[in-house]
Each structure stands twice: as C-alpha cells, then as structure tokens.
Chains A and B, each alone.
Chain A
Amino acid sequence: MDPRTEDEYPAARRWPPQLRVAAAVGWSSFLAACLGTMLAFAALDPQVIIDGVEGGEPGAAPWWLTPTGIYTLGFFLFWLIAVAAGVLTALLTRGPQADGDEH
C-alpha cells in the first residue's frame, strides 16, 4: 500500500478474526433461514397452527399469533438453528493447526 494512501486512506478496514467468523456465520445462516422458511411455509399453512391453538374459538389465540407472526417466528427459529450449526462448525474447525496458522 502506498504510504500516502495508507496514511489518510487506509484500504484495509480489517476485522478481527472473531468478528469475521461472527459475520460469516450470521449472514450465511440468514440465507439458510430464508430458504428454510420458504420451503417450510410452502408446505405448512400457519392458519393450521392458529386454528389448533384456538381450538374452535375464533379470537382465542394471543394477538401475536397471526400468520405474519408465525412466519416471523418460524424465520427466526430457522435462523437460530442455522446460527447454532455455524457456531458449532466454527468451534470444531478451530483446531490447533488453524491456531498455528493465525499466530
């Protein structure tokens, strides 16, 4: 890097490795959650869940239990599961070899 640009204009706005892993896990699991939500709710009508909770009494479900609410909760559930998988992958692949590479 040219010293003049390095001084006033650092090309490398670099993230520490932990942050990189967190960002990669967060974003890739977000994409996975989008796909999972689409597949799951193509097959499952959230109204079925609402009907089940209401048990024949319309309006018995809590206010947040709407189709949109179920889509939302489903999406975040998928995200959470995917994040868990990503975090575990990151943990398990952080072997001694990788540590040696970093330092």
Chain B
Amino acid sequence: MNDGTAGAEAVSLYESHRKVYPREVAGRFARLRTLAAFGLLGIFYGLPWLQWNGRQAVLFDLPARKFHLFGLTLWPQDFLYLSWLLILAALTLFFVTAVAGRVWCGYACPQTVWTEAFLGLERLVEGDRPQRLKLDKAPWTGDWLARKSLKQFLWISFAALTGFSFVAFFTPARELASGVVNLQLGGWETFWILFYGFATYGNAGFLREQVCKYMCPYARFQSAMFDHDTLIVSYDPGRGEPRGARKRSVDPKAVGLGDCVDCTICVQVCPTGIDIRKGLQYECIACAACVDACDDVMARVGYQPGLISYATERELRGEKTHYFRPRVLVYGGLLLALGIGFVISLSLRQPIGLDILRDRNALYRVLPDGAVENVYSLRILNKDDRAHRYVIETQPVGVFQVDADPVLVNAGEVLAVPARIRVAPGDVDDAPRDLRISVRVADTPGLVASHATRFFVPKQEDDDDEDED
C-alpha cells in the first residue's frame, strides 16, 4: 500500500467494484487448463460413486469415525498418517512452487477450477467478452432477464450439485442421493449441502480473483519459495518495449518500436485482471492465458512467439537456469524422505489396535481362595477388511492366568472385552507388578498388539520402597 501509488490507490479503494470479464483464449496452455479442470472436476463429482469391495471407495465416514481410501481404512488412531499426508502435500506444493512457480494456482486450485467452470457456464449463456460487457450495460429487457435467469439457474444447479458431491465424501453417496430424491435428508446433511453449495456459488460466481488477491495465504507467501530460477509468467520488456500500435507493413525497428503491439489482449484474457507487462505481480496465478493470447497475436502479425512466456528471471537475462539448487534439493530431499517413510510406515502398519482401561472401581479383588484378580477393559480394534478371532494373553506368561475366551471382532469394528487376570494365592507375593496384555490374531501368525499396564495386589510392607513409574 506504500508503493508510491498511494494517491491513485486512495481513489480506487473506494470506487465501486467493477467486474472482470476475462476474454476467452485458445492455445496450448488453455487446453492444458481445460484438461486439468475436467479431470479434477471429474474426480470430485465421480469419486463418491466409485465402489471398492462392496463399499464406497473414498468415504470419510465421520459418524463412524473411519476413513476409507480404497483398500485402506484409517482410524482416529491413525491420525498420524493424516497429518503426515498433509505435510507431504504442503512439501509438494513448496517443491513445485520452487521449480515451476504457481502452477497450483493456475491449473489445480479449486478456486481456479470452479471459477473456470462458472465462467464457462456464463460464456455459454451470455456469450463472449464483448457480448457480456454489452449485456451488463444493456437495459433490463426480456432478453437480459432471460439470459441472466438462465445463467443463475445453471450456476445454482451446479453449486447445489457441488454441495451434494462434497457431502457425499462424508455420508455414503447412495444413501444421500436417495435421501435427496425421497426428501428425507437429515438436517445436518441438508445444512452442509446448502452451505458448501452457497460457498461455491459465491466464490466461483462472484468473488473469483478476489479470493486469490485478498484471501489466499499461499498467494502471499509463495514469493518466499521463488528465486531467479523459478518459472514465472513473464513479459520480455527488452524485446517488447517501446510498445505501440503500428501498421503491419511497418518495420518496428525503423519506427523505434519493440515487438509489443499494445493490443491489450493479454490484459483482457487475465482472470485476475492484471497487466503482465508491468512485471511479476502477486495477483498473477500463472495460468498462462496471456502467453496463449500473446503467441496468437504474434503469429498474426508475423513476429516470433514468446514475448510473454513461462521463463525464469535468469532466462530473461539471457543466462542459464539452474535446476539443481539448494532450495530445490532441500525441498526435494525432504519430500522424497518423508514420502518413502510414509509408504514404508503404511505398509508396516498392523491392522490391529488395542487400548486398555483399568476397572475404575476396584484396583484389585481378593477371591475367596486367596487369589488376586485385576479386571481390565480391553478395546480391540480390527482395522482389517475381514473378521478375526483374537486371543488374549499376558507377558510374562506363567504367573498370570487370563480368564477371557477368544473373541471375534468384525471387520472395521471395535469390541470392548472385559479381561480378568488372576494370580494364584501362592504367587501373589512374587508376581511382577508390570505386565503386558496382548491380543493375538488367531489366524494370522505374528499379528499381535500389546499394551503395558500394572497389576495391583493388596498393599504389603515391602512395596513401600517401590517406585511408581
């Protein structure tokens, strides 16, 4: 705000918000962007319907507190993996940003993708940029009303579908769909469909580039990952300036002009409404719409393409780009190490979990025959996709007798099992105070989970000097 344009800024701050009308653009980056948008939207709307082993392939089943990701089921106990995954995602973003700039913003960010989709619907109904500009200035005729209503209808339907699809990641999609059809949707599901739908409508229909400019934290801190070797969308001022209109037959050098014909099409296509010729700006989401547009103009006037291009600052200065630099190596190394660690850890993850709670009412019970009994409540978690029988055991063996039958736990369920563990009268004095309780999967050798706990006996004199740990 203190960049010397304070005067101009002060005026524009209070002017009414005027709308950006991005001009349609064709070219290789536009094709890539469309492809990415279709792919990502396809995943978002299609994934909830994909089945895997008889259940929804990707379902973050919050009420049941388990996340299904294809063959993998994650539990609250696996929270580490989720955090790990988020860290991996963040590191990937850092790495990609350091190498290729803001490709995330230009091609994959939901804000960009849904804005493209909403713009597409807008174009479908209201026409291309000049037509939209004209329509918005036109009086409210029947045609105006018809076009605006149709656009709103399409937008709202698309937003509602988006809200539905979002909730379908958390509630089984088929149940949700039948709930919608039969008007028997739960209150909270309805709320979230409307909430997410409304957020989509507002963000993609109206806020658009404002989200990137004023709300997105990544837009602000991505510059910290940039250096002279990062790919950015850049205008080559050495070649373009001085800009100016000219007749096609005129040799620009003869009249002292650069290659920029100042057609302003690069500005017209920009979804965030900036002029790339002013240099790199934080509003630039690196979508390369201006690259396509400018290449097209250059071809028409018979100049070389690439006046605006994906290039590093070093390239623009005529130097060679360094790909293997400390920043890239550090991000890349961390990413690789954490990624490999994640895969190894996930593949070694045992599909069994055990929690032990002591009986809160009594530390121990002395049985009529003098034996001492402690009661534990075991929570056996079967994270596997099929049912297993679990055998309860103790370490050390011998002294402790377990009074609990093997139990059957169904796939993906938690079973609370009381386990009575006894020490015979003669062994009470010598029984160790620390023990491990373990559950062993009867049909899978080596699959076992155990938990350390304490065994309490009636207080004895020689216990006094024992330290509690």
- Enumerate chain A interface residues (CB-CB to B < 8 A): 1-2, 4-5, 8-17, 19-20, 23-24, 26-28, 31, 38, 41-43, 45, 63-64, 66-69, 71-72, 101-103
Q: Give 5 closest A-B pairs by Cβ, nearest first.
A: A11-B273, A27-B215, A67-B63, A42-B79, A68-B188
Shortest distance from the beta carbon of A16 to any chain B beta carbon, whole Å: 6
Q: Is the CB of B270 within 8 A of A11?
A: yes
Shortest distance from the beta carbon of A28 to any chain B beta carbon, whole Å: 6
Q: Is the CB of B267 within 8 A of A9?
A: yes
- Which among B9, B191, B209, B264 is the interface contact of A13 at CB below 8 angstroms? B209
In the bound complex, CA of A38 to CA of B189 (Å): 19
B residues within 8 A CB of A38?
82
B residues within 8 A CB of A17?
13
In the bound complex, CA of A45 to CA of B211 (Å): 34
B residues within 8 A CB of A102?
1, 10
Shortest distance from the beta carbon of B335 to any chain A beta carbon, whole Å: 21
- Enumerate chain B interface residues (CB-CB to A < 8 A): 1-2, 9-10, 12-15, 17-21, 62-63, 65, 76, 79, 82, 133, 170-171, 186-189, 191-192, 209-211, 214-217, 262, 264, 267-268, 270, 273-275
- Which among A11, A26, A31, A69 is the interface contact of B267 at CB below 8 angstroms? A11
A residues within 8 A CB of B262?
2
- Which among B17, B214, B267, B273 is the interface contact of A24 at CB below 8 angstroms? B214
Q: Is the CB of B273 within 8 A of A12?
A: yes
In the bound complex, CA of A13 to CA of B283 (Å): 12
In the bound complex, CA of A64 to CA of B63 (Å): 13
In the bound complex, CA of A42 to CA of B275 (Å): 46
Shortest distance from the beta carbon of A71 to any chain B beta carbon, whole Å: 6
Q: Is the CB of A66 within 8 A of B13?
A: no
Q: Which residue in chain A gives the minimum CB-CB distance to B171?
A: A68
Q: Is the CB of A23 within 8 A of B210?
A: yes
Q: Is the CB of B17 within 8 A of A13?
A: yes
- Which among A13, A16, A69 is the interface contact of B210 at CB below 8 angstroms? A13
Q: Is the CB of A5 within 8 A of B264?
A: yes
A residues within 8 A CB of B12?
12, 14
User: Could you list 18 A-B pairs, sorted by A, with CB under 8 Å?
Assistant: A1-B275, A2-B262, A2-B275, A5-B264, A9-B133, A9-B264, A9-B273, A15-B17, A15-B210, A16-B13, A27-B215, A27-B216, A42-B82, A45-B65, A63-B187, A66-B186, A68-B170, A68-B171
Q: Which residue in chain A gives the minimum CB-CB distance to B133?
A: A8
In the bound complex, CA of A19 to CA of B19 (Å): 16
Q: Is the CB of A2 within 8 A of B264?
A: yes
Q: Is the CB of B18 within 8 A of A13?
A: yes
In the bound complex, CA of A13 to CA of B262 (Å): 22
Q: Is the CB of B65 within 8 A of A72?
A: no
Q: Which residue in chain B gives the minimum CB-CB distance to A68?
A: B188
Besides A2-B267, A14-B9, A31-B217, 15 new A-B residue pairs in contact (Cβ under 8 A), listed by A number: A8-B133, A9-B264, A10-B18, A11-B20, A14-B12, A16-B14, A23-B215, A27-B215, A28-B215, A43-B76, A67-B62, A67-B65, A68-B188, A71-B62, A103-B10
A residues within 8 A CB of B19?
13
- Which among B15, B192, B275 is the interface contact of A14 at CB below 8 angstroms? B15
Shortest distance from the beta carbon of B317 to any chain A beta carbon, whole Å: 26
In the bound complex, CA of A9 to CA of B268 (Å): 7
A residues within 8 A CB of B10?
102-103
A residues within 8 A CB of B216?
27
Shortest distance from the beta carbon of B6 to any chain A beta carbon, whole Å: 8
B residues within 8 A CB of A42?
76, 79, 82
Q: Is the CB of B217 within 8 A of A28?
A: yes
Q: Is the CB of B270 within 8 A of A69?
A: no
In the bound complex, CA of A15 to CA of B211 (Å): 11
Q: Is the CB of A64 within 8 A of B187?
A: yes
In the bound complex, CA of A66 to CA of B133 (Å): 49
In the bound complex, CA of A103 to CA of B7 (Å): 9
A residues within 8 A CB of B20?
9-11, 13
In the bound complex, CA of A87 to CA of B187 (Å): 31
Shortest distance from the beta carbon of B88 to any chain A beta carbon, whole Å: 16
Task: Indicate the member of B14, B171, B187 with the most A CB atoms within 10 Å.
Answer: B187
A residues within 8 A CB of B14?
16
